[in-house]
Structure 1
């Protein structure tokens, strides 16, 4: 029984068989762990009112330059422009104007696009910002999200690399800038568009969402350009600029969104930056640790089944299920480590009926052997079998009745 149960649990852990149950538990814990956002993070939203006022998307690069020129007066600590500028503008002067505004506004970080898979069978394709913008940026970072099987965005990879080229996450660059840490230069110059034969992703981080959509301080793009937002809101703060408009596509389901709502990409980036700055980043436990944490309560229950009475074993099993959930929640909320508990709970739920079946089978076999032995002693058993109780309508009941 122990070997069978351990094998089932190990299979479920390695193959993530119960990932839907695990993600449901994770999402419930995330909803319990909501917190106020960092005051240092401000979002400038390319929202629907701004689109209605300033025109349809995409906007000319000069419009983005106008925003950065306003921010230059406010002196923010750092700016992440969560918009892809991977193609040169039709007007080269517009790119130069935006590059000049980036340099004037202070450290501005830009994203690149890494498409998976790449063209013609390649592992991926990397598209970096257009030449003048790449040169003016304080750093280039990747912003890829990792989606679970249910299509929900719960995690990212802190680094992506291909050969000698590597990219940190855009929010990791912002964190380093905020803390005065060194920001690594690109390992290779490369072209703006590059086909990647391989793509390696490192250090998966689960996002500890601070709250639902709209949780972080947000001001409309158009209001900032018009000068209606006090510069004190941006002074010394970390400014994230990105799309929140419903028609722009950069919107995703998360653990803190309902079935009818999504979270904008720039809000996701704000949650990531908040986690990195507050030390709340969550890391998944290794398969080995999850196996150990899943098999330990199973071993305790098996030891109890060998020594305790059935009622005590039932109480022990329920207590172990509750303890497994509590340990998983504690690791997540206190230690910032996610160890999925569903396989352990399933193992505990399975082992008791398996053990009971094996015990009943052994008891039945014992009584069959005893009855066979008794039939060889005519003086012990009556010549006619006793009338069976109506309650003895199963095999074990009939065998017990015969032994009486």
Structure 2
């Protein structure tokens, strides 16, 4: 009798080994799927390694920085500067016709009335200024730090400046929105990009859209109820870092000028057509956060915003 499908003993042995190997792989995958933290940690490390292996990207064509650095502070005095001085910075930057002008500077207290009005007028005339709000560090004060109404009404947008730190204290993303006392705020860099492109921001759930640019969002879009209050679950924007400014690095990730260079006319029109962010550079005043591309020093907050704005505008 002829038996169909009968296998040679050697073939039986080979097939058994293959089945054992397949089962081992399946069991390993199933086991790892229940260990979300190690898998997430591995994913983070691979992503961080990619930044270091890809080489030095070209300088951004979309974003530039004007930095309040040690040189500026030595020239114009200790921080805080008078609002009339900030008005000079805004006017000088706006004169080069950037597409957007983001100020990563907290403007929460009233100072000299004349200086405050001069600064507010500089924001109004610029016509494309974006300001920041952020969670307060004061335990007994307001939950959110917002710009003075005089300045808010003169700017075209306000964005939140919150970052997200992973379990390893590395910043790889920022929240799409944060709820403030004034309502939901989009991320500061997202607002800067929106103004630079001159197009409405559309929320498509797992994507945001600015004109032809689709921006992927990490996180669910379902609505949840917490203690009877309905809100949207957190979503995040991943930062595709171009790099961190380092002295002597060529090419630099961004065009960056000291406030001195701006006010003394040494920017030579290079801010034109770019989204320009003004904030603290190599000084102890500003906040610094570790990132996947940080070297010896964590990255200044304004550079994190610049990297996210560049991620969006360059469609990376």
**TM-score w.r.t. structure 2 length?**
0.74
Distance 1:85 1:200 in 2: 29
Residues 25/2 of structure 1: CA separation in 2 closer, same or farther (3 Å cut): closer
Larger radius of gyration: 1
TM-score by length of 1: 0.59
Question: Structure 2 matches for 1:55-94, cutoff 5 A?
Answer: 55-89=77-111, 91-94=112-115
Correspondence 1:96 to 2:108: no
Cα separation, 1, equivalents of 2:162 and 2:63? 20
The alignment of Structure 1 onto Structure 2 pairs a total of residues equal to: 260
**Quick check: 1:80–1:108 contact (8 Å CA) kept in 2?**
yes
> Which deviations, in whole Å up to 9, do the C-alpha atoms of 1:219-252 show, x marking residues without a partner?
101221233332x212222111010133113222
Query: C-alpha separation between the residues in 1 aligned to 2:182 and 2:138?
Result: 19
What RMSD in Å do the two structures reach over aligned CA positions? Answer: 2.7
**Correspondence for 2:126:** 105
The yes-or-no answer on 1:209 pairing with 2:250 is no
Local SS of the residue matching 1:247: coil
Q: Does 1:11 align with 2:34?
A: yes
Residue 23 of structure 1 and its aligned partner are, at CA, apart by: 2.4
CA distance 1:88–1:27, change in 2 (3 Å):
same
State the secondary structure of the residue aligned to 1:233. Answer: coil
Query: What is the CA–CA distance in structure 1 between the aligned matches of 2:159 and 2:233, rounded to whole Å?
Result: 13
Deviation at 1:40, TM superposition (A): 2.7
Q: 1:228 aligns with which of 261, 266, 278?
A: 266
Deviates more, 1:18-27 or 1:212-221: 18-27
In the alignment, structure 1 segments of 5+ residues that lack a partner are 185-196, 281-404
Q: Say whether the 8 Å CA contact 1:160–1:200 is kept in structure 2.
A: no
Q: How far off its partner does 1:274 sit?
A: 0.8
Verify: 1:151 aligned to 2:189, yes or no: no
Check 1:92–1:164 CA distance in 2 against 1; reply closer, same or farther (3 A cut): closer
Equivalent in the alignment of 2:275: 238
CA distance in 2, matches of 1:3, 1:235: 56
Which of these residues, 107, 131, 155, is aligned with residue 137 of structure 1?
A: 155
Q: 1:175 to 1:201 in 2, by over 3 A?
A: farther
Aligned partner of residue 80 in structure 1, secondary structure: strand
**1 or 2, which has the higher strand percentage?**
2
8 A contact 2:161–2:188 mirrored in 1? yes
TM-superposed CA distance for 1:4, in Å, is 5.9
Q: What is the distance in 2 between the residues matched to 1:163 and 1:112? A: 11
Q: RCO higher in 1 or 2 (8 Å CA, sep ≥ 6)?
A: 2
